[in-house]
Amino acid sequence: MRKRRAACLRVLLALTVLSGCGSSGNSGKPSASPTAAASWKFTALNLGIPDKALKAPVTGRVPEDRTLHVGVTLKVSDAAWKKFGHGKSPAQSAGDVGKQLGVSDETIQKVQAYLGNAHIQAKTSKTRTSVTFDVKAGQAAKLLRTSFVTHRLNGRTYFTPDPSHPPQIPEQLAPYILAVTGLESYSAAPKARGALGASVPGRALPTRAASCIQRFPQKFASSDRVAAAYGYNQMWNQGWRGENMTVNLVEMDGYDRNDVANYVACTGSHIQLGNVNLGASEPAVGAEATLDIQMLAGLAPNLRIVDYQEDPALLNSGNGADSWTALNDALQRISDDNYNVPRPGSVVSISMGGPEGYLSQPIMQAIDQSLRVLTVAERMTVFVSSGDCGAYSDRTYGSLDVSFPATSTYAVAVGGTRLDLAPNGARTQEVVWSDRSNLSRCENQWGSGGGVSKVFSHQQFQTAPGTNNQYAGSGGRQVPDISAAAINLPIYYRGRWVSSGGTSAAAPIWAAGMALVNQGLLTRIHLYCFGPDTFYHVASAAGANKPYTDVVAGNNLYYPATAGFDLSTGLGTPNLPAFFNTLVVNPGGTPGGN
């Protein structure tokens, strides 16, 4: 993969259309494909399921009427990606991104025709990079010349295609398909980050009919204190509070508008908050969405926030692959909603993930490409929390693993710190967030996720003092890239102030900061910056500026914090004015990154 530099460009973005809808199906023993496709030659479809999972004892068959939510990710050529990697763009439309990505009408028609032979209607994304549909297990089995069986391994029950009859697809389609998801449930479902603590001590005082605490006890990193510690308030003083900037959230749960309204009233925020509900019912109120929205509202008070709430039926189906397909659907919907609707400097924040060691390759390929579309083609920065189980993303102490999608090449992985404050709110020190009090099992309390990927390779742009460390020999991508406060953060939830945190909080803290930076860049030099490359470019171009506070104390239960980059806190925490000043003087090289 060739070197990618910081991506900054003039105001642009616009994209085009292609779509449809989805459902149908039936299953059991292997059988021939639909008669209309009987003349096609077939080849095996590799779902990337580990051998140990396929060889585990078969315990039964999947009911024929079980609905599977299937995603087909279409390949984009290297040549197509390179179209997005030349120079800085002027203040105009990016053109038809779908056509630039190179997935032709003919390819789409071939996929649709094959599915149509099985009476399956599919929905194609506007970027023409994915096709999704719902299908009964029985009909999927006929389409793929297999059947679906259940297994049990290490206390887990899951399903896969019958190992003695691997799924097959037409040879004519195989060259166009990158990944197929939704046909197995071995992959562990994504988990939301963060956890709630106890109620925040202090006297709740009415302010404009809102329940506000006038002064939080010293240890709590309230929004005004975080803003002061990281220099966000200095951006506010320049008149940059998030006006005309957008952060898109991907959530597994919903939120109570009354809780958000109370927080907004207490912090003086004026956010514009919109919902995109991707399911049939309103998601249940949860702490995750509440935390993300309130972190953004407190630090970029005039921001536009779009909350994409995933389909709860898929998330609660017990099928990990369904959950990941739902996450990918949300990413695709963000792409679709920003297609032909330029929002310069937009950001995405994701506070969920799962251990690389328990995910199939197609799931990671599909989501990685969706992140690539958002970053390279639609010029957004995607922040992803690095996980809350320290160096052990699979939640088992002693078993090193990292969390995807934070490890994606196209994500900015965000770790967590403990921000210590003086009585006046000033930062006294910052250390790695970690907790050894109970190592029997992680319930999102062990600390800042980090380590070395076994799936994604080291990128040339990931170069800074400390990246060539003792753990770099494996050649894997190192995470996190950056970090922010992740504990003792007060939010208003279910009618009371509670302490919350996790890298779930750190990701939107940085998302808010990037929105302020891009607002300033658009004002000053009519450019904005995006992508993980940017953060390493800033480190190398800073000169006398100090864009990050280097965290050098603590560890994430395995990897120590060190001078420079480390696998607990990355490059460090925000010094937002210096970060901004570096980009004003040197906004970087070619955008996009391939």
Question: What pLDDT does residue 442 have?
Answer: 92
Question: What pLDDT does residue 466 have?
Answer: 96
Supply the angle between the helices 223-230 and 503-524 in degrees, to the nearest 10: 60
* Three-state DSSP state, 233: helix
For 33-81, where are the E strands, in sequence order? 42-44, 58-61, 67-74
CA–CA distances in Å: residue 489 to residues 58, 76, 547: 47, 41, 23
| CA angle, 154 then 159 then 161, to 5° | 130
Question: In terms of DSSP H, where are the helices of 200-256?
Answer: 223-230, 232-237
Fold of 192-585: Rossmann fold (3.40.50)
Question: What pLDDT does residue 463 have?
Answer: 94
Closest CA to 350 of 247, 493, 245: 247
CB 12 within 8 A of CB 379: yes
Torsion region of 502: left, alpha or beta (phi above 0 gives left; psi -120 to 50 gives alpha): left
Mean pLDDT by 10 residues, the chain (594 residues): 49 29 37 49 93 95 94 91 56 60 82 87 90 94 96 93 95 93 89 64 51 88 95 97 97 92 96 89 82 98 95 63 85 90 90 93 95 92 97 95 97 97 82 95 93 96 95 95 97 94 96 97 93 95 95 98 98 98 84 36
Closest CA to 493 of 216, 207, 200, 191: 200
Question: What pLDDT does residue 106 have?
Answer: 85
| Amino acid occupying residue 387 | G
Question: What pLDDT does residue 88 have?
Answer: 38
Beta bridge partners of 109: none
Question: What pLDDT does residue 28 have?
Answer: 41
The residue whose two tokens read 């950001």 is 347
Question: What pLDDT does residue 80 have?
Answer: 86
CB 354 within 8 A of CB 408: no
Question: What pLDDT does residue 3 have?
Answer: 46
Pair type for strands 304-309 and 527-530: unpaired
Q: To which H or E segment does residue 430 belong? A: strand 427-432
Q: To which H or E segment does residue 8 belong? A: strand 7-10
State the Cα–Cα distance between residues 588 and 594, nearest whole angstrom. Answer: 16
Q: Where do the domains of the chain lie?
A: 7-186, 192-585
